[in-house]
Chain A
Amino acid sequence: MSYVSRGFRGRRKDGAGGRVPPGQYLTDDFPVLSAGPTPHTPLDEWSFSITGEVDEPRTWSWDEFRALPTETVTRDIHCVTKWSKLDTVWEGVPVSALLEGLDTAAEFVVAFCDGGYTTNLPLEDVADGNAWVVHTYAGEPLEPEHGGPVRLLVPHLYFWKSAKWLRGLALRQEDEPGFWENYGYHNHGDPWKEQRYWGD
């Protein structure tokens, strides 16, 4: 192992028992991680869409999207860079509600975003009440640096799957690896199985 630095602990918190997946450290912060410049799409040009393997694509303007019924949820989140943050509070639209009544043979979803970021998920990981499109964090509108106006929230997977600056979900019959999945990150990303990289 590397030389141990006398007296160094880092910024980690103690505790939390079984709520922290293997290899993770607890934090009170909300680190900002970014692979590119923060997009700033004016809300009057913004839209959210369900596209791909559907009979009829759906689109909402910002006003229409904000008018949709929401849920407030409290969840723990886990970043593949090893920090975990407990009891984060979000408000948004369940993905299942956005897909309601949709006829599709698709088994996969690609989340697509301003700035070109994408991430892929099995449809069952987002359709069954375990994913939301959120616009509010800790009671405040989601800040651009954290993915506002809306981001995907899929807390049961590593947080790179909770795509920032989300503009829509494309339903696909074939799985299509997204940005990080193409460069080594695990296709599924379950923190409890420590699925960080290819082959894990």
Chain B
Amino acid sequence: MDDASLRLDGNAAAGLLGELFAVDLTTARCCCAGCGAAEPLGAEAVYVSAPGTVMRCVHCDHALAVVVHGGGRYWLGVSGMAWLEIPEPASA
């Protein structure tokens, strides 16, 4: 398997993030705590084939977020994000 194919776009994490958040975060802008670059989460890199899902900054590879799901629990690490800017949901 071509190992470049393990790196997907942030959009691929939409379902997993949707298990934890009531809003779709793929259009939220995220500021990387490593390099300060801000991008929509959908444009960041995501690695889904690991024991957990890791989102990384497309500019510096810093781990923005880590999600592990197992044993009846989720673990969410977001120390790699300095902030998230989340648009208000459009009214239903």
Please report whether the interface of chain B is mostly helix, strand, loop or mixed according to DSSP: strand
Q: Which one, A115, A145, A182, A199, contacts B3 given CB within 8 A?
A: A145
Q: Which one, A33, A38, A79, A184, contacts B71 given CB within 8 A?
A: A184
Interface pair A182/B77, CB less than 8 Å apart: yes
Residues of A within 8 A of B (CB): 31-38, 79-81, 115-116, 144-145, 160, 180, 182-185, 196-200
Instruction: Confirm or deny: B70 has a beta carbon within 8 angstroms of a beta carbon on chain A.
Output: yes
Q: How many residues of B contact A (CB 8 A)?
A: 21
Please report whether the interface of chain A is mostly helix, strand, loop or mixed according to DSSP: loop
Tell me which residues across on chain B come within 8 A of A38, comparing CB atoms: 3
Distance of A55 Cα from B66 Cα, bound (Å): 36
Distance of A38 Cα from B47 Cα, bound (Å): 11
Tell me which residues across on chain B come within 8 A of A80, comparing CB atoms: 51
Interface pair A184/B75, CB less than 8 Å apart: yes
Tell me which residues across on chain B come within 8 A of A33, comparing CB atoms: 49-51
Tell me which residues across on chain A come within 8 A of B51, comparing CB atoms: 33, 35, 79-81, 160, 180, 185
Interface pair B54/A36, CB less than 8 Å apart: yes
